[in-house]
A and B are shown apart, each in its own frame.
Chain A
């Protein structure tokens, strides 16, 4: 009987030496004549424990981490291949509190299965949603997604079912599904984890979208910073096609759907949906004016479903378990779960999938374990580089699209970057403007010029030149960008800038008491 040992192949695990660990385990096992079956799984999302090695035992999977190659001999000495105690042992993986208290719907399989094994996928409920969708009329599938309350997980939170209905109702000879996997937001990595850890889930979601709207061709636009995800998707698509889950007749239903993966080229703006379409068409990633909506005239001028990876990967479980099952999670108009990503200065960084309604304090303290540095947490940026800096006084607001919008912030793609009290918020505000200046597509003036002027004005404020006048000027500039930009790039860069200014005026040299 060989022992099954799991060593993640996730990019982050690899970045910490998982490959060397896998090699060391293979080597030690051979030397000691222990039969091992090493499975390269996705990550469980407990990144402070990565590389997290798991051993299959009669008591379930036992976790060891963070394991380095030089720990492996000692682990064998202790008998870890039988699940024995060791200073790196954390007991049964499923009982680690960080994981045990989550509500994993979209991430149900990530870290558990072999990402490229179709047998594993099927054994863990894979393709149940697609099979059910095949038996339904397209309009019924769209209705199921609408009823689930699923909203776009890329950040804009537009109701997915309504978007799909527009594509379904727009007659065309060719329609497309374009998956936005240009996950450029700092502090986010859920798309990457899913593409590397459970690629068939995304493939299934796209196939369902195709059948529901009459689209026969899908594209996944992956950023070039994700070489591992790109290769995993290519391999998974090939296998899914060979097994008949993609192609001229999806699972033998007589209707066609296929997928091609495309690589971006290091442009943050290509995460904006119309810019992504331009890029897929082989052009500069310049934002398009809307209307027409991409759902009516999108890729190559045809009706196109554009959804983020998380949105599409949430669809299989909605179809498999029904709209009501999914809808029962969450609160208000934010239904279901969101895979939050804990990053930056935290002890326990990682992926936490929870129903909407969890608070930042729970995520940062209960899950995140407080700051990595041990200093007090001062702020967290929520929703990527265009998201607001949330001060500690607002850590108890429920994470819900509407409640966050009401306080001038956004949930976005669920990325959370924590900062301790050494952060200089004037510098972070400047960084937001400088980032916009580097990444602006250049089409509209508020974004292209505004960001450059923004850096200059913040520099003058930091230098103490006519501070009052320059702050008024910065606020006016932010208003122009917010109201006058063509897309969220220029339109939301003011969020981090103005939230920093509002909540941390002392960092800009403003007397806190006078600022109010």
Chain B
């Protein structure tokens, strides 16, 4: 999950690639976050200028959506579902376990920069509750033991590639 470091040239290219789409703001922001893991400050005036918007308007859009981040996340993002179906299947116990295991609360990143923890309301995996998402992988029928195993695997791969 190592992302590039934002550069003015990189941002300009991503913005140029999407500026002609009708309703280009979201596709642009997605492209930027996909490339860098977050939407850096310097992107805002560039998007504003490309789309003939004010910086405040762009800031308003970025801040409205839960998906967009303004700071770099950890190397992995873990989302734990807090919606009803998962609650019916013990999501609160899972949430407490994950928080204790990682030593962070929601919207925080572990001290080693490995994992950012976020809440999510529904991953559409309600037939296999409780669910969570690690990066782009959705996981079902989770419990503390399975989470520990997946986390261990992540740490192993990180160790191997370091």
Min Cβ gap A403→B in Å is 23
* A186 engages B61 (CB within 8 Å): no
Q: Is the CB of B89 within 8 A of A372?
A: yes
> In the complex, what distance in Å separates the CA atom of A415 from the CA atom of B83?
13
- Interface assignment of B16: CB less than 8 Å from any CB of chain A: no
- In the assembled complex, how far is the CB of residue B140 from the closest CB belonging to chain A, in whole angstroms? 4
- Is B145 engaged at the interface, CB distance under 8 Å to the other chain? no
B140 nearest CB neighbor, chain A only: A15
Neighbouring B residues of A341 by C-beta, 8 Å: 126-127
CA distance A423 to B131 in the complex (A): 18
Give the interface segment out of A219-227, A473-481, A506-514: A219-227
| Contacting residue for A15 out of B64, B65, B66, B131, CB 8 A | B131
CB interface residues, B 108-141, toward A, < 8 Å:
120-129, 131, 133, 136-141
User: What's the interface size class on A, roughly?
Assistant: 35 or more
CA distance A346 to B69 in the complex (A): 36
Q: How far is the CA of A264 from the CA of B133 in the complex (A)?
A: 17
User: Cβ of A15 and Cβ of B139 under 8 Å apart?
Assistant: yes
Contact of B140 among A16, A223, A227 (CB under 8 A): A16
As a 0/1 sequence over residues 315 to 358 of chain A, the CB contacts with chain B under 8 angstroms (1 = contact) are 00000000000000000000000000111110001110000000
Task: Answer whether residue A283 sits at the interface, using C-beta atoms and an 8 A cutoff.
Answer: yes
Binds A, one of B5-13, B17-25, B94-102: B17-25
Separation of A417 and B61 alpha carbons in the complex (Å): 33
B60 within 8 Å of A by Cβ? Answer: yes
Q: B126, A300: Cβ atoms under 8 Å?
A: no
Verify A265–B127 contact, CB threshold 8 A.
no
Give per-residue flags for A203-242: 1 if the beta carbon is below 8 A from chain B beta carbons, else 0.
Answer: 0000000000000000000011111100000000000000
Residues of B contacting A23 in the complex (Cβ-Cβ under 8 angstroms): none
- Given contacts A345-B89, A435-B121, whether A266 and B65 have CB atoms under 8 Å apart is yes
B129 and A343: CB pair below 8 A? yes
Chain A residues in 8 Å Cβ range of B141: 15-16
Task: Report which residue of A48, A385, A417, A439 has the largest number of chain B beta carbons within 10 angstroms of its beta carbon.
Answer: A417
Would you call A428 an interface residue if the criterion is a C-beta within 8 Å of the partner chain's C-beta atoms?
Answer: yes
Q: Is B27 interfacial (CB-CB < 8 Å)?
A: yes
**Residues on A with beta carbons closer than 8 Å to the beta carbon of B125:** 11-12, 15, 189
On chain A, the residues within 8 Å of B43 by CB distance are none
Bound CA–CA A264/B26 (angstroms): 8
A345 to B65, CA, bound (A): 30
What B residues does A264 contact at CB under 8 A? 26, 65, 67
Q: Which stretch, A26-34, A145-153, A158-166, A274-282, touches the partner chain B? A: A274-282
Bound together, the chains give a CA A417 to CA B129 distance in angstroms of: 11
Contacting pair A15 B60 (CB below 8 A): no
Q: Is there a chain B Cβ closer than 8 Å to A267's Cβ?
A: yes
| Cα distance, A109 to B65, chains bound together (Å) | 35
Q: What 1/0 mask marks residues of chain B from 63 to 97 whose CB sits below 8 Å from any chain A CB?
A: 01111100000000000000111111100000000
A263 sits at the interface (CB 8 A): yes
Q: How far is the CA of A192 from the CA of B122 in the complex (A)?
A: 12
Provided the pairs A184-B121, A186-B85, A280-B23 are in contact, do residues A344 and B140 lie with their beta carbons within 8 angstroms? no
Q: Is the CB of A12 within 8 A of B127?
A: yes
Q: How far is the CB of A191 from chain B (nearest CB, A)?
A: 8
B55 part of interface (Cβ distance < 8 Å): no
- Our pick among A300, A351, A428 for the contact of B84 (Cβ within 8 Å) is A428
Residues of chain A within 8 A of B122, CB atoms compared: 184-186, 188, 225
Given contacts A16-B128, A189-B127, whether A423 and B65 have CB atoms under 8 Å apart is no
Question: Does chain B have a CB within 8 A of A285?
Answer: yes
State whether A186 touches B136 (Cβ < 8 A).
Answer: no
When chains A and B are docked, how far (Å) is the Cα of A224 from the Cα of B69?
Answer: 14
B-contact bits for A183-197, CB 8 A (1 contact / 0 none) = 111111101100000
Q: Is the CB of A265 within 8 A of B124?
A: no
Contact B23 A225 (CB under 8 A): no
**How far is A129 from B139 in the complex, measured between Cα atoms in Å?**
37
Q: Identify B127's interface contact among A185, A266, A286, A342, CB under 8 A.
A: A342
**Given the contacts A14-B138, A15-B128, A226-B124, A282 and B84 also touching, CB distance less than 8 Å:** no
Q: Which residues of B contact A423 (CB under 8 A)?
A: 88
Give bound CA distance, A95 to B69, whole Å.
Answer: 48
Query: With an 8 A cutoff between CB atoms, is B51 at the interface?
Result: yes
The CA of A228 and the CA of B128, in the complex, are separated in Å by 17
Best-buried of A183, A225, A280, A419 by chain B (most CB within 10 Å): A225
Asked if A282 and B67 make an inter-chain contact with CB atoms under 8 angstroms apart, the answer reads no
Judge if A503 is at the interface, Cβ distance under 8 Å: no
The answer for the CA separation of A24 and B83 in the assembled complex, in Å, is: 33
Q: Chain B nearest CB: distance from A19 CB in Å? A: 9
Determine if B61 and A282 form an interchain contact, defined as CB atoms under 8 angstroms apart. Answer: yes
Q: A265-B30, A283-B61, A344-B84 are in contact. Are A350 and B127 (CB under 8 A)?
A: yes
Q: Which of A192, A263, A428, A441 is B124 in contact with, Cβ under 8 Å?
A: A192
Find chain B residues with CB under 8 A from A281 CB.
22-23
**A498 interface residue (CB < 8 Å to B):** no
- Measured in the bound complex, the distance between the Cα atoms of B65 and A191 in whole Å is 22
A12-B125, A47-B128 known; A282+B64 contact, CB < 8 A: no
Query: What are 25 A-to-B residue pairs whose CB atoms are below 8 Å?
Result: A11-B124, A15-B128, A45-B127, A183-B124, A186-B83, A187-B126, A188-B124, A223-B124, A224-B67, A225-B122, A227-B136, A262-B23, A263-B26, A264-B26, A264-B65, A267-B65, A267-B66, A281-B22, A284-B64, A285-B65, A341-B126, A341-B127, A343-B129, A428-B87, A435-B121
Minimum-distance CB pairs A-B, first 4: A282-B25, A186-B83, A265-B65, A343-B126
Contacts A14-B138, A185-B122, A385-B84 supplied; 20 other A-B pairs, CB < 8 Å: A11-B138, A12-B138, A15-B138, A186-B86, A186-B126, A225-B122, A265-B30, A265-B67, A266-B67, A266-B120, A281-B22, A281-B23, A282-B23, A282-B61, A283-B61, A284-B60, A344-B85, A344-B88, A350-B127, A441-B64
Using a CB–CB cutoff of 8 Å, the interface residues on chain A facing chain B are: 11-12, 14-16, 45, 47-48, 50, 183-189, 191-192, 223-228, 262-268, 279-286, 300, 341-345, 349-351, 372, 381, 385, 415, 417-420, 423, 428, 431, 435, 438-439, 441
Q: B residues bordering A, Cβ < 8 Å? A: 22-27, 29-30, 51, 57, 60-61, 64-68, 83-89, 120-129, 131, 133, 136-141
